[in-house]
A and B are shown apart, each in its own frame.
Chain A
Amino acid sequence: MSNQFREKLTITRREFIKILGIFFAWIVIGVKSVAHVARQLAGKFLERIQAAYARDSAMSLRKSQDNPQVQSLYTDFLGEPLGELSENLLHTSYIDRSRAIPAIRPMTMRTMPESLAIISVYPNPFNATTEIAFCIAGSEMVWLAVFNTAGQQVCSLVEKTIPAGTHRVRWDGRDKYGKRVASGLYIARLIAGSQMASQRMTLTK
């Protein structure tokens, strides 16, 4: 059975209980009351979304640029969108928080890979750091290391038993002594159980 087909058939425990519950309730108390209960179980957000769109079509002003108070805000105070004052007050910047995440982390618990593979090295070619994504089919002892073209090991990124699934590892372009390595071609080699996969990556400075 292919992975895709299996995914379609899989339901969570809670969905299974919901379906059985609705089915037995239908047998016991009839269609009309069940429809009400099923609507509640399905979540209220459909009803809420319909209420929002209904309100939108009932309003006389439907475009932001037609709002008279927004217009006077721009003429009296802000100037124009992306102007200097709005740039200061209404725009912001963002922080890279990925450093707080430990080097290795599971990407998602739902997708189970079929075999060992390095999915991606991104960015590639890279300057300073890159991220290697790989997936393993079962919980296994994994060894992920970086080699140079002469076949010498530059550094070892992962050397432990990790759960099945997709994982990402960051490489900051440093060797095992913490020294920055030279520009050029490097090979990420992943060994899990009896399988092996590798991927080329280019460091440019």
Chain B
Amino acid sequence: MRLFNPASAPLPGEADAIHFVDVNQDECRSCAHCEGVCPTGAITRIKPNTPWCVHYIPDPVYCIACGQCLKECPGLAINETVSFLEEIQQKIADPEIVTVAMTAPSIRYTLGEAFGDDVSRYEAGKMFAALRRLGFDKVWDVEFGADVTIMEESAELLARIRGELDRPLPLLTSCCPAWIRYVETYHPSLIPNLSTARSPVQMLGALAKTYGAAEIGVNAEKLYTVQIMPCIAKKFEQLRIENAKSGLRDIDATIDTRELIQWLKDKEINFDDLPDEQADDPFRITTGAATIFGATGGVMEAVLRRVVEVLDNKPLENVEFQTVRGTEGVREAEITAGELTFKVAIVSGAVNADPICTAIEMRESTYVAVEVMACPGGCLNGGGQPIESEYI
């Protein structure tokens, strides 16, 4: 069962007017479960206050494209409307173009679910091998981009704490594109609080078309970057006009985990029999801080591993911050580093974000940093992740 149409790639700048998810009204069983998981009320009944009637998304400006409705719909009535799959296949067939696959931290834990025994485990080696079998010339790891994001974001947090940067606290993380759109649409007064650091894959895309292209000796214009994400909102992020910092589009195409699994199944690649391979230089080596990016609290923990070390001015001994881990909707933790003691908060799911946003707007919050991921549980439970193995 496909939840997307492979030939429907829009152009940059069209993003605001597109429904990234839409309801197939013939399939909708009016159960109203999507209303409960939608963080913004974008999905609603076609006739207000009528218990049994189909749902729809009246206007794309309300929707932050997190895709939770699609993931939670028991009838598979909600599908994606944007897919770059056909365009990517054309580019791979073109011998002039160097196609680069960029793999998100979260997809390596869920790819294996669709093949074999339906258990989540770490499958990075097979994932890199599978992408080479599909015809990608290079595989670069977004976990590397995540490490760079941590360097930038923690430098920014330290500058804000020390008052060197004229921007307010708390720092709001900026890795989740659906969360960014949520702030821009529903809490625009918090835009100065957002970290200016781009998301890991956008950083990697900009680096790929400058530093990376030079390292492998390829003209950056011949590079075609494909991000493979557990996320629907990344398609929106890719199409944002300003995401062309390298002079070219930093990311040229996006597919999510479901589309990759469908592609592997169509090509009849036997995932379980693949050997373990590695990503390509110069974006190959990654750290533990990057691999937990997909879990709620993971970005915060990775930032703390850097910030606490700098504030303590000595190597960090215990890198595990157990207090930021968990799966509750809103969590807070107190961190002591050097002479400072500060509080951080983690929000899992944009449905839980409104109270904390309002508190920051009212100047009632005492947090130094707040991490928000729009999907409950983080990217590992993202809108683009496999739903059930038989439905992908």
Contacts and interface: CB of A to CB of B under 8 A. Distances in A.
Real binding pair: yes
A90 B122 contact: no
B320 interface: yes
Contacts of A152: none
A92 B155 contact: no
A44 B120 contact: yes
Contacts of A40: 388
A89 B291 contact: no
Contacts of A107: 41, 354
Nearest to B122: A55
A91 B196 contact: yes
Contacts of A9: none
* B-side interface size class: 35 or more
A95 B291 contact: no
A74 B151 contact: yes
B361 interface: yes
B327 A46 contact: yes
Contact of B144 (A47, A67, A122): A67
B-side binding surface: helix, strand, loop or mixed? helix
Contacts of B61: 97, 100-101
B391 interface: no
Given A62-B289, A69-B284, A70-B147, A49 B377 contact: yes
A88 B206 CA distance: 10
Contact of A100 (B16, B41, B121, B146): B16
A106 interface: yes
A14 interface: yes
B122 A51 contact: yes
Interface stretch (B3-11, B77-85, B177-185, B267-275): B177-185
A33 interface: no
Interface string B103-147: 001100110010000011110000000000000000000001011
A109 B35 contact: yes
Interface string A27-64: 00000000000001001111111011111110101111
B184 A63 contact: no
B340 interface: no
B211 A67 contact: no
A46 B235 CA distance: 26
Contact of B184 (A73, A78, A94, A105): A94
Contacts of B36: 12, 14, 110
A113 interface: no
Contacts of A65: 150-151, 306, 309
Contacts of A48: 106, 109-110, 120, 294-295, 377, 380-381
Contacts of A101: 61-62, 185-186
Contacts of B262: none
Contacts of A44: 110, 113, 120, 381
A38 to B, nearest CB: 15
Q: Which of A51, A57, A107, A139 has the most CB of B within 10 A?
A: A51
A48 to B, nearest CB: 4
A54 B188 CA distance: 38
A96 B286 CA distance: 34
A151 interface: no
B348 to A, nearest CB: 10
B184 A59 contact: no
A108 B35 CA distance: 10
A73 B207 contact: yes
B49 interface: yes
Nearest to A63: B305
B241 to A, nearest CB: 9
Interface stretch (B93-101, B197-205, B216-224, B330-338): B197-205
6 contacts: A52-B298, A64-B151, A76-B211, A93-B196, A94-B180, A95-B184
Interface of A: 12-14, 40, 43-49, 51-57, 59, 61-70, 72-74, 76-78, 80-82, 86, 88-98, 100-101, 105-110, 120, 122-123, 139, 163
